[in-house]
Amino acid sequence: MSETQDPDRSTTDKLADAAASAAHAAKDAVAGVAHAAKDAAGGIRIPGAPGSEPPTVAEPTEPREPLPPKPEQQAPAPVSPTGRDTGAPPDARAQDGAYLTTAQGVRLYDTAHSLKAGARGPVLLQDHHLREKIMHFDHERIPERVVHARGTGAHGVFQSYGNAAPVTRAAFLAEGAETRVFVRFSTVQGSRGSADTVRDTRGFAVKFYTEEGNFDLVGNNIPVFFIQDAIKFPDVVHAVKPEPVREIPQAQSAHDTFWDFVSIHTEAQHHTMWLMSGRGIPHTYRTMEGFGVNTFRLVAHDGATTLVKFFWKPRLGTHSLVWEEAQLIAGADPDFHRRDLYDAIEAGALPQWELGIQTFPDTEDQMFHGIDLLDPTKFVPEELAPVQPVGLLTLTGTPTNFFAEVEQVAFHPGHLVPGIDVSNDPLLQGRLFSYLDTQLTRLGGPNFPQIPVNRPHVPVNDMLRDGFHQDAVHVGNASHYKPNSIDGGCPFTIGADGGGYVEVPEPVAASVKERRAPESFDDHFSQARMFWLSMTPLEQEQIVQAYTFELGKCYEQAVKERQLLALANIDPELCRLVAQGLGLPAPEATIPLADDVVVSPSLSMIGKAWPTDGRRIGIVADESSDLDGVRELREAIDAAGMVPLVIAPHGGMLGDATGAPLPVQRTFLTARSVELDAVVLAGAPAPGPDATPAHDAKAGGDPKTPSVDPRVTMLVAEAFRHSKAVGAWGAGSAVLAEVGITGPGVVTGDSPAAVLEGVRELLAAHRVWERFPVRV
């Protein structure tokens, strides 16, 4: 008997084996991706190449077929609009042929000049190519999502551990099941062109292409929501969106209408507390937790039901930005989260999350330890109901075409499969209407499930016909109504025993028709207080800073005072510190404080060590630096699964014919510490010829070390201020000492290997948190 078949091994050991097996399988499946495009200079893969082949300097003139996608790119499965496997290659939907054509396939000899009556004459109405080209261009844009407009997505695979089988009949959660997925991450409030790093809730939506049809798990990175009833969804969104008179601010909650709403509508206080924490500014999507938010119902093979909440636990841990860092990134690289996700996949540092479930008895009152499971503004601490991992999600491919996949993917909480049903959560019930309804205008009608990224990977026979953008060619005279005999009675229905979806026959208690919430929904402050008390002093300091900043941006004094009243009902110290920053008196609580709160240590993001896959380390060097040491360090960083970025005074290469040249990824002009997780100095670069305020404002000020490029000292000081690891060897160590970069998290040594060892240990904790002073 093999080790994995040993009946004496614990369930935990078997789950660990299943997780490790799934992780290795996902890594092996794309092992070629990380090897496919090593840079010629050093054999190290630096992500970001725009195409699958490097371009030539001269414009190509020899006709050839379109270039293939890059190795890490994936496309939706080549299935028909009705779910049939076409057997076509993955790129079958891509443009074809070496020559430019019209949309009708007619080859063209020119696309740079309109058809005119003479070289200087008027353009002719008969120019069919001009009309077609401009017409299509004028209609390229579709309405963006009302919320979650700013997002990004990727393809992947989900591998089940099998341990959820006792509580659900869902086939994709059976032992050994492997399911293709498409995942979309997003911000909530901003427009499609807004920045990634704003303070906001993030969407975390997963489409499972299961053997029983598509299942969508549509969640957020915060386990609770602003509202308890979906009828208030337009109110909270209108409040947080740009104010309609001036259409500002974009993608920000730091304005009057948002705080006016949440300070009156106090059921939003719990979600707002999470938003003011580091959860509101995640470091990357790869280090962001996900939650299903609402309570669902699992259905076992024997019909037994269990209430459930879904979780996504990132393998790299849950980490955040610091506020100044988030603001700087929004200007320096507003696509930071999108770029990080795609660069990580391209580099072979495949993002992974475990799907976890909290399960609860499906009792008549649907309560658990006094927590109403139908209240979406409440969560159940993991200390009361541990999260059980049930499978591994690995993102394995970037989109082949962003619009076709990320923009056109459509999620809906009502896309369910046998074994999963909804609860009576009033927010979820409203989402079941809204998510379907919103696709009609955005995607041009009811046939959006036929868009390739939305197509199920199983046979579809739905009796739905016609409409805009109908891509299926249905057959039969009676296949669109039921009952019929003309088409042999097809399609037929099937019961649960045959795999049909049957709703749980939940008893409905005798009641009256009314607009009212249950009394258990009335508590708006105790869980916000629990969250606050569960934070470390450093995290509490960050929350204070966030509230002070956001309210400090409000114009109306009454809005600030009203929100301080809400904070007084959560915690008097929190209220006092925020009031101090606003220059206002701290009010007394208007209700008794929740004094029976039990803290939940699992809520804190600080204090654990995590893998460092995909972390970016900047190596600062110039021609006078220890370039042999830089080569050694670069190779060691790559071997450790991280990304080395050489930062130099100029682009191109460092080094001469005496050694292998080093490719430069960033210059002192283009680099900024906020895109790096750590900085290592390989020398003391002298000021470059462009190190003047007129050419680069970062070179301004009164340098402490005139012999070193001021942009280098600024880079290091900024990284140090944001509590990132800083390292150096040789002449670089002296630079750190001269500019006062000392203390915790500063690693110096005699060799690059020794420095990297210390830096990597620090990166496992994400930041050097002890650098931050706290008052709380």
Active-site positions read: 148, 220
Burial of 437 (0-12, 13-18, 19+ CB in 10 A): exposed
Two tokens, residue 453 = 């990224």
Two tokens, residue 651 = 């682009």
Cβ(96)–Cβ(105) below 8 Å: no
Q: How far is CA 238 from CA 234, 258, 440, 563, 734, in A?
A: 6, 8, 21, 19, 54
Strand 305-314 relative to strand 296-299, pairing: antiparallel
What DSSP state is assigned to residue 666? E
Which residues face 388 on adjacent strands?
357
Identify the residue whose tokens are 């040789």: 730
Cβ(296)–Cβ(250) below 8 Å: no
Q: How far is CA 479 from CA 85, 368, 449, 450, 526, in A?
A: 21, 47, 19, 18, 56
CA neighbor of 319 nearest in space, from 715, 615, 642: 615
Q: How far is CA 344 from CA 34, 48, 412, 641, in A?
A: 10, 10, 28, 10
Helix (H) or strand (E) holding 670: none
Helix (H) or strand (E) holding 653: strand 653-654
What DSSP state is assigned to residue 256? H
Kindly list the strands in the beta sheet with 616-620, ordered across the sheet, starting from the edge strand earlier in the chain.
666-667, 643-648, 616-620, 678-681, 725-729, 746-749
Strand 653-654 relative to strand 678-681, pairing: unpaired
Residue 504, sorted as left (phi over 0), alpha (psi -120 to 50) or beta, turns out to be beta
Cβ(142)–Cβ(442) below 8 Å: yes
Cβ(93)–Cβ(69) below 8 Å: no
Q: How far is CA 505 from CA 422, 528, 739, 769, in A?
A: 12, 35, 70, 52
Q: Measured between alpha carbons, how far is 242 from 239 in angstroms, rounded to an integer?
A: 8
Burial 743-753 (b: 16+ CB within 10 A, else e): eebbbbbeebe
Count the residues in the chain.
Answer: 776
Cβ(574)–Cβ(565) below 8 Å: no
Query: Cβ–Cβ contacts within 10 Å for residue 25, how many?
Result: 14
CA neighbor of 267 nearest in space, from 539, 550, 545, 526: 526
C-alpha angle 252/336/24, rounded to 5°? Answer: 125
Amino acid at 47: P
CA neighbor of 197 nearest in space, from 268, 272, 283: 283
Cβ(314)–Cβ(288) below 8 Å: yes
Cβ(635)–Cβ(645) below 8 Å: no
In sequence order, which residues have a C-beta less than 8 Å from that of residue 295 and are 6 or more positions away? 307, 308, 309, 360, 366, 373, 374, 423, 425, 428
Amino acid at 40: A
